[in-house]
């Protein structure tokens, strides 16, 4: 970095001038990279998945070590700079970036160390899901991660996390053994069930409110490497019978089987017959981690429906299943989602689900139902900040469209309307990782429900000045700022 003083956004939205000597002192003790907009690598460092939430920080620090992360946090605190943390950059609300502030891009810290004997994995905050799955599957092991392989591990985990293995092993944070992180005072701490227990409780779902994570330790389970998975699809005019079978099957499914149902327009994919491209379909995505004989038996009710447009459920590598949905969520689109946790699938919910799917305005938007319950329901509501142990399903209106689409307002309105229809059937909770930039404090409280006040109390201990506020903020002392300032 060369040049004159740098103007940055302060914590309270005011402009702050950082003098060249202060920047030089920081850079001198920083073993990673410190970038401004004119520097090579800046553009890729601030690229995030949801183009609708794109912002431009004034500075990007790319830590190479936990010590670097601590130095960056201290620098931001001492100069009262608006601070954000980017792992995979996949958060829909754009909380990875602080407009005009300092962004910590953790991508260099992407180590994965697997201990197959103890069934543990040490994972850096810059890792994507595919990095972890690739390393753990070499030993036939896995932990609970999400559905899109390019998602960042850190953001997924700190928001609670769920995926194909949730029914067997709970939320992602139910499989978290330890977190190393830098808190607002610049101290590097290791939190677990036996050390900084209150902080560990809050990190298990409380998002980026408490510090910069520099390492995660996950419990691993015997999964794969071969499983049965894929998608089977039918014409949308068969939605009633498909949804009925989906509901019946999820009521009796073993925990080795996870199902999701989607209604959308058929994409122009090679596995979909050309005559169906662009036409409304209903599909069921399946992942069965049991033996092939059990999988065939448990999936038979779906195949008994007959006459699918496409049936792609086959025996495959678990890592391949983990990237099955990647093509449905490419980088650079505008994304706007609404989600609700559901206690079950009532007739009214299924009718509203189909009705909102029929009203989709963008050819790449969709309605999705995820089957949950199982292991996550066996713990108490206050076992980790994530809560929502009464969630049998999650429903989402997934709005997506190209950045240059002239009908963006119509697509937004569809997602909001569909989300409102789902809300009528909700447990009262929602998935914090699916919240958008315009979700306000009330929505965050609803995500945490009875755990919110405890989250705020822990926040007051470890971040009393609300340094970490570019997130779904729970501070009792100040409102959200930066990426989440919209009410």
pLDDT, tens only, 457-468: 999 999 999 999
How far is the first Cα of the chain from the last one, in angstroms, to the nearest whole number? 36
User: What pLDDT was estimated at residue 477?
Assistant: 58
pLDDT, tens only, 232-247: 999 999 999 999 999 9
**pLDDT, average across residues 436-441:** 93
pLDDT, tens only, 206-221: 999 999 999 999 999 9
Please report how the helices 347-358 and 239-252 are oriented relative to each other, as an axis angle in degrees rounded to 10: 140
User: What pLDDT was estimated at residue 482?
Assistant: 40
pLDDT above 60 for 223: yes
User: What percent of the chain is predicted at pLDDT more than 90?
Assistant: 94
Q: Please state, in angstroms and rounded to a whole number, the distance separating the CA atoms of residues 158 and 204.
A: 6
pLDDT above 50 for 105: yes
pLDDT above 70 for 170: yes
- Tell me if 161 sits within 8 A of 171, measured CB to CB: yes
pLDDT above 80 for 103: yes
- Tell me if 26 sits within 8 A of 118, measured CB to CB: no
**pLDDT, average across residues 172-184:** 98
- Tell me if 228 sits within 8 A of 315, measured CB to CB: yes
Q: Please state, in angstroms and rounded to a whole number, the distance separating the CA atoms of residues 175 and 399.
A: 30
Q: Which of 30, 28, 37 is nearest to 3 (CA)?
A: 37
User: What pLDDT was estimated at residue 476?
Assistant: 75
User: What pLDDT was estimated at residue 5?
Assistant: 83
Helix (H) or strand (E) holding 314: strand 314-317
Residues with Cβ within 8 Å of residue 24, at least 6 apart in sequence: none
Helix (H) or strand (E) holding 445: helix 441-448
Rounded to whole angstroms, what are the CA distances from 24 to 21, 76, 226, 282, 426? 5, 14, 52, 57, 52
Which two three-digit tokens encode residue 391? 């969630």
Task: Tell me, yes or no, if the pTM score tops 0.85.
Answer: yes
Rounded to whole angstroms, what are the CA distances from 477 to 201, 205, 208, 457, 473? 20, 20, 16, 10, 10
Q: Please state, in angstroms and rounded to a whole number, the distance separating the CA atoms of residues 336 and 59.
A: 27
Q: Which of 158, 153, 143 is nearest to 191 (CA)?
A: 158
The secondary structure of the chain in percent helix, strand, coil, rounded to multiples of 5, reads: 35, 25, 40
pLDDT, tens only, 36-52: 999 999 999 999 999 99
Q: What confidence tier does 478 reach under pLDDT thresholds 50, 70, 90?
A: very low
**pLDDT, average across residues 419-424:** 97
Considering only 138-142, 148-152, 480-484, which range has the smallest mean pLDDT?
480-484
**pLDDT, average across residues 78-98:** 96
Please report how the helices 408-423 and 347-358 are oriented relative to each other, as an axis angle in degrees rounded to 10: 180
pLDDT above 70 for 178: yes
Q: What confidence tier does 4 reach under pLDDT thresholds 50, 70, 90?
A: low
Residue 30, classed as helix, strand or coil, is coil
User: What pLDDT was estimated at residue 483?
Assistant: 38
pLDDT above 50 for 373: yes
pLDDT above 60 for 2: no
Which two three-digit tokens encode residue 336? 């706007």
Considering only 22-26, 68-72, 134-138, 290-294, which range has the smallest mean pLDDT?
22-26
225: preceding bond cis by omega (within 30 degrees): yes
DSSP 152: B
- Tell me if 477 sits within 8 A of 469, measured CB to CB: no
Most distant CA pair in the chain, distance: 72
Strand partners, 61: 34, 104
Q: At which residue do the structure tokens 């543990």 appear?
A: 120
């Amino acid at each position: 970095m060369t040049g004159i003083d740098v103007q940055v956004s302060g914590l309270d939205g005011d402009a702050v001038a950082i003098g060249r000597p202060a920047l030089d002192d920081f850079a001198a003790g920083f073993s990673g990279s410190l970038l401004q907009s004119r520097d090579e690598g800046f553009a890729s460092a601030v690229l995030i998945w949801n183009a609708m939430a794109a912002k431009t920080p004034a500075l990007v620090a790319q830590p190479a070590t936990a010590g670097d992360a601590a130095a960056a946090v201290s620098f931001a605190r001492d100069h009262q700079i608006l601070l954000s943390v980017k792992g995979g950059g996949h958060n829909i609300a754009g909380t990875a970036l602080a407009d005009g502030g300092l962004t910590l891009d953790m991508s260099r810290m992407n180590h994965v160390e697997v201990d197959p004997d103890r069934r543990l994995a040490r994972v850096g905050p810059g890792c994507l899901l595919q990095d972890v799955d690739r390393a753990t599957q070499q030993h036939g092991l896995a932990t609970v991660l999400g559905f899109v392989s390019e998602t960042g591990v850190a953001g997924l985990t700190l928001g609670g996390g769920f995926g194909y293995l949730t029914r067997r092993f709970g939320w992602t944070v139910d499989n978290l053994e330890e977190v190393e992180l830098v808190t607002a005072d610049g101290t590097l701490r290791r939190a677990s069930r036996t050390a900084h227990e209150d902080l560990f409780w809050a990190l298990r779902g409380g998002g980026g409110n408490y510090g910069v994570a520099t390492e995660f330790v996950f419990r691993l389970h015997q999964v794969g490497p071969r499983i049965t998975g894929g998608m089977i699809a039918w014409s949308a005019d068969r939605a009633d019978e498909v949804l009925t079978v989906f509901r019946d099957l999820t009521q009796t499914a073993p925990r080795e089987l996870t199902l999701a149902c989607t209604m959308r327009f058929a994409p122009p994919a090679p596995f979909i017959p050309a005559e169906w491209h662009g036409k409304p379909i209903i599909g069921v995505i399946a992942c069965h981690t049991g033996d092939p004989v059990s999988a065939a038996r448990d999936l038979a009710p779906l195949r008994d429906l007959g006459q699918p447009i496409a049936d792609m459920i086959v025996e495959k590598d678990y890592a391949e299943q983990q990237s099955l949905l990647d093509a449905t969520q490419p980088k650079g689109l505008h994304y706007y989602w609404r989600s609700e946790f559901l206690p079950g699938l009532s007739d009214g919910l299924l009718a509203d689900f189909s009705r909102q799917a029929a009203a989709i305005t963008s050819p790449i938007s969709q309605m999705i139902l995820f089957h949950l319950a199982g292991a996550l329901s066996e713990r108490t509501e206050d076992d980790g900040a994530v809560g929502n142990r009464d969630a049998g399903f999650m429903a989402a209106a997934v709005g997506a469209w190209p950045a240059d689409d002239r009908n963006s307002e119509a697509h937004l309105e569809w997602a909001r309307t569909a989300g409102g229809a789902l809300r009528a059937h909700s447990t009262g909770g929602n998935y914090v990782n699916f919240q958008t930039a315009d979700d306000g404090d009330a929505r965050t409280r609803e995500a945490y429900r009875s755990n919110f006040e405890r989250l705020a109390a822990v926040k007051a201990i470890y971040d009393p000045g609300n340094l970490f506020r570019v997130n779904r903020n729970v501070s009792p002392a100040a409102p959200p700022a930066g990426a989440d300032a919209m009410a």
